Amino acid sequence: MLRNRDGQVRVLEAFLASTLVFSALLVTVPIRTAVENSRDRETLYVIGLNMLIELDREGELGNLVAKNDWSTLSKRLSTLLPLGVAYNLTVYNEDMGIVNNSPISGGGTLVNNVLSIQYLLAERISCQFYVIRLQLSWMK
């Protein structure tokens, strides 16, 4: 009779151990995913901000905005951004009115986890200020 109880205790012990292992695995997966998502957002932010700074270095971004040359601006953005990144860019004037009359986007549709970067642009010839809002997202 004692042998039967030892077997039942061993089965119960194995069941509790396997439950503990599986629950530990279930808890660690969301933590790892959250860390990866925050790294993805940081990477997108660095890529987007560096791209805007590079375009504005020689005044090219200000010239394109002043000339309302949205197609060339879209081509420049598509060239500078890596594959797999979707973007949408909106240009606002000093009164926060939208300047671009056509959408400046590319790379596909923006999905969840959209990162928004705001950049203050001072156009050098006419000394006008613009707010550039760049939205970036990894395509899935």
The single-letter DSSP state of residue 110 is -
Q: What is the pLDDT of residue 6?
A: 65
Query: Model pTM?
Result: 0.67
- What is the average pLDDT value for the chain, to the nearest integer? 79
H or E element, residue 91: strand 85-92
What pLDDT band is residue 62 in, cutting at 50, 70 and 90? confident
The residue-averaged pLDDT of 105-123 equals 80
Checking if the pLDDT of 102 tops 60, the result is yes
Q: What are phi and psi of 48, to 5 degrees?
A: -65, -45
Decide: helix, strand or coil at residue 18: helix
Domain regions of the chain by residue span: 2-138
Q: Which residue in the block uniquely carries the two structure tokens 């109880």? A: 5
The predicted pLDDT at position 133 comes to: 92
Span 20-52, pLDDT tens digits:
777 766 665 554 444 455 567 888 888 888 888
Q: Write phi, then psi, for 104 (nearest 5 degrees).
A: -110, 95
